[in-house]
Amino acid sequence: MKNWIGHQTNTHRITVTSKEISAFATSILLEDPVYFDQNVAKASNYIDIPLPYTMPITFWKHFDIPWLDSIDGLVHTNQSFTYYQPLVANRTYSCHLELNDVSHKVRDNSCMTFLPHTLSIFYENELQATSKTTLLLLEGRE
Amino acid sequence: MNHTTFSIGEEISYLEVKPITQKHIDYYANASGDNNSIHLNTEAAMRLGFPKPVVHGMWAMGLLNTLLHQSFSHAYHLVSMETSFTKPIFVGDHLYVSAKVQEMSGSQLTIKVTGLNQHDDTILKGNIVVIGGDK
């Protein structure tokens, strides 16, 4: 696994529709009309309907991630998002995912392997947001 | 802009979901594309040692979007949001999430978020940093 540190996935171009945003917003109990109505979004100074802040996690489904190919039972331990610009519907973002590190900790005689990743989201070559995800691999599953 | 309307330690938002239902999780799985059977199927969860389907941590973190909208008008910019998932949450559990002001510096506000289950176990904790938020 250590050999994969620093590897990136291929870059994917990802466009999120307003319908996908509405469905995601509903699923996390968001009722604010800014996520459902383009006119409300524009009146709130967005170019189009904004993505809920945690929605970039759904971008993971677009990637083939070779270092996670044969692994099952991962636990999601930490998650962060940093925004430089809001993400909006109907824009095509260029995104890639990188494995930042592989670190081990021993607790209660169990070895835990932490796999921090960074998803970088660009629009017209400018970084718009990053999403950092740490996955935990329990002993014996690597 | 200064946050003269807030005080350190003030609870600015609170949200509860009781109970979390399989319908919540099925809907999130469909909307997010995370259809891992551990979230959707009791037998799959039990095979990994869990008593019930495990709620997506990202569903719980998603509720922080709602907390922010309850707290502020749209006149704010989210700088960052960070969460640790400290314990699994299961379908049928209750979730209580609160947001308290931790730090104020000029136009920047740091909010501490905590999620508890019905046993008062902390299941998520983290921070949100916004600029320009107002009551």
Please give the pLDDT value at position B93: 97
Where is pLDDT greater, at B10 or B134? B10
Tell me the angle at which helices A18-27 and B57-71 cross, rounded to the nearest 10 degrees. 90
Share of chain B above pLDDT 70, in %: 93
Is A98 strand, coil or helix? strand
ipTM score of complex:
0.92
Q: List pLDDT tens digits, range A55-82.
A: 999 999 999 999 998 787 788 999 999 9
Please give the pLDDT value at position B1: 43
Q: List pLDDT tens digits, range B104-128.
A: 998 899 999 999 999 999 999 999 9
- Alpha-carbon gap, residue A57 to B83, rounded angstroms: 13
Question: In terms of CA atoms, which chain A residue is nearest residue B44?
Answer: A73
What residue type is A11 in one-letter code?
A: T
Residue A6 phi, psi (nearest 5): 90, -10
Contacts of B13 (CB under 8 A, 6+ apart): B67, B68, B70, B71, B98, B99
What residue type is A28 in one-letter code?
A: I
Where is pLDDT greater, at B77 or B96? B96
Kindly provide the residue ranges of all beta strands, DSSP E only, lying in chain A, ordered along the sequence. 12-15, 75-83, 92-99, 103-107, 110-123, 126-138
Copy the structure tokens of residue B54. 């495990």
Q: How far is A141 from chain B (nearest CA, A)?
A: 12
Does pLDDT of B71 surpass 90?
no
Does pLDDT of B6 surpass 60?
yes
A73: contact with B, CB 8 A cutoff: yes
Question: Would you call A79 and B80 a contact, using CB atoms and an 8 Å cutoff?
Answer: no
Please give the pLDDT value at position A53: 96
| Cα dihedral sign, B68-B72-B73-B75 | negative
Please give the pLDDT value at position A141: 42
Residue B29 phi, psi (nearest 5): -60, -45
Which residue ranges of chain A lie beneath pLDDT 50? 140-142
Please give the pLDDT value at position B36: 87
Contacts of B84 (CB under 8 A, 6+ apart): A77, A78, B124, B125, B126
| A19 sits in which H/E element | helix A18-27
Please give the pLDDT value at position B119: 97
The model's pTM is 0.92
Interface test with B, best of A17, A79, A88, A133 (most B CBs within 10 A): A79
Please give the pLDDT value at position A75: 86
**DSSP bridge pairs for A112:** A105, A138
Please give the pLDDT value at position B117: 97
pLDDT band at B3; cut points 50, 70, 90: low
Does pLDDT of B17 surpass 90?
yes
Does pLDDT of B87 surpass 60?
yes
Does pLDDT of B75 surpass 90?
no
Residue B77: list chain A partners with CB under 8 A.
Answer: 83, 86
Residue with tokens 């289950």: B117
